[in-house]
Amino acid sequence: MSYDLIHWVLDKMNPLVSSRPYRALEWCDEENMPRAIRQCCQNMLLQNWNRRLPWIQMQSPAKTACVRLEIIVNDVAIYDEIPLNVIDFCAGSGGPTPIFEGLINGNRTRDGLAPLQFVLSDLWPNITAWEEHSKKSDNLTYIEQSVDAAHPPPIALSVNSPRGVSYADTKHDPEEKPAGCSPNRIFRLFNLSFHHLGDEEARRVLRSTLVNADGIAIIELQDRRLGCMLLMALNIFLVLLVTPFWFSPFRRQRRWQNVVHLLLTYSGILPVVLCWDGLASCLRTREFEEVMASIGEIEGVTPRITYDCENETVDKYCEINEWTFTWRRQMHTFPFGYVNWITGVRKPDSRRLDSMQATAGSSTSPSNADSNRSQSSASSGLKVE
């Protein structure tokens, strides 16, 4: 009861600062941003995801975010016997996806289920960082080419896509799938990245997702609320404090990269860029209702959002045609830092539903688990040169 009271009081002290998202400038989104600064910003965000700050965090934000993501991904995975690939479309330096992969697949292996393939991709690929991550797991790969989430390459399109091509692509025969099209289902993942998209670009990404994916998760660690913006403003001091420990120049691995990081930090460049972009990210972040309004506009329907504060796993949900969307948030940093999940699941094809229900009872048997494991391994070659 005391925890609920504290949560209620903090929520009342944490209003939205604007009635709609504001497209504030983020320097790291600019094409002329020097590559060294962009990668240092990505590396700092990676550490923010994966490290726990004493006293104000119970666990790392990545572990907090994985709780809800694991539920949704596993729900999509059991909908069909076709293997599921989880593709991070704006991976940066890797973000929390390597941790997600380890936690989710670790639990699946323990439960006798086949591991899922996780794939890193980005409009600005960070191959050096991705190679380091992929060496640590057979179930973590990456796409070397630049990937636009609004017009992804064939390898990032679900086998269940009606056309097997990008929604906006009109050059292909509707019945013909292009060479290299994925043989698997696709779950799209946006970690701390969906707010980077402008309104029109976000609609194109959502339109493509509705046609060419089987599930989606939009995970943000920030929002447009006053408390979060205060935390972001204080981040300038946090960067100065933690950089020597997180990016030590005395480590043999990545020594020169860390030296560059230190120089950019204590010259004042990196703290200012991170603080500015953090505040801009807050102002850009969309609420659940705003994302649903965009999807409703795409589908030509008026979204009906149901609020259910009594539900332990979902606070809001909305059904739009064959998709079910949910929203939930949970504190990751005391007192005003919350992880926000917007997730969507496409209902399975009714033609396969009877088959899936018939095989559900035996899906966790040892022999079937071994078969699923082999099937997943056979389809894991997703590194695109």
Strand order across the beta sheet in which 316-320 lies: 140-142, 117-120, 84-88, 185-191, 215-220, 337-346, 323-333, 316-320, 305-307
Structure confidence at residue 13 as a pLDDT band (50, 70, 90): confident
Q: Given a cut of 60, is residue 179 above it in pLDDT?
A: no
DSSP letter, residue 310 = T
355 close to 78: Cβ distance less than 8 angstroms: no
Q: Looking at the predicted structure, is the pLDDT value of residue 377 above 60? A: no
% of residues, the chain, pLDDT over 70: 83
Q: Mean pLDDT check: name the lowest of 47-61, 167-181, 197-211, 249-263.
A: 167-181
Q: What is the mean pLDDT of residues 251-280?
A: 93
Mean pLDDT of 9-27: 91
Give yes or no for a contact between 247 and 261, defined as CB atoms under 8 angstroms apart. Answer: yes
Q: Which of 142-151, 320-329, 343-352, 375-384 has the lowest mean pLDDT?
A: 375-384
Is pLDDT above 70 for 310? no
pLDDT of residue 8: 77
Q: For 322-335, what is the mean pLDDT?
A: 95
Q: What is the pLDDT of residue 69?
A: 97
The predicted pLDDT at position 107 comes to 97
The pLDDT value given to residue 93: 86
Instruction: Find all residues with CB under 8 Å of 360, minimum gap 6, and list them.
Output: 78
Residue 72 in tokens: 């949704």
Among 104-118, 210-224, 368-382, the least confident range: 368-382
The residue-averaged pLDDT of 359-384 equals 43
Going by pLDDT thresholds of 50, 70 and 90, the confidence category of residue 300 is very high
User: Domains of the chain by range and CATH?
Assistant: 2-378 (3.40.50.150)
- Contact (Cβ atoms closer than 8 angstroms) between residue 206 and residue 294: yes
* Tokens describing residue 312: 């332990």
Q: What pLDDT digit, counting tens, does each position of 117-175 carry?
A: 999 999 989 898 899 999 999 999 999 999 999 999 999 999 988 754 444 443 444 44
Q: For residue 112, give the nearest of 374, 368, 377 by alpha carbon.
A: 368
**Above 70 in pLDDT, residue 356?**
no
pLDDT tens figures, 23-78: 999 999 888 999 999 989 989 998 999 999 999 999 999 999 999 999 999 999 99
Q: What is the pLDDT of residue 23?
A: 93
pLDDT reported for residue 3: 63
What is the rounded distance in angstroms from the CA atom of residue 264 to the CA atom of residue 15? 34
Query: Of the ranges 42-46, 156-160, 253-257, 335-339, which one carries the lowest mean pLDDT score?
Result: 253-257
| pLDDT for 81 | 87
Burial 150-178 (b: 16+ CB within 10 A, else e): bebbbbbbbbbbebbbbbeeeeeeeeebb
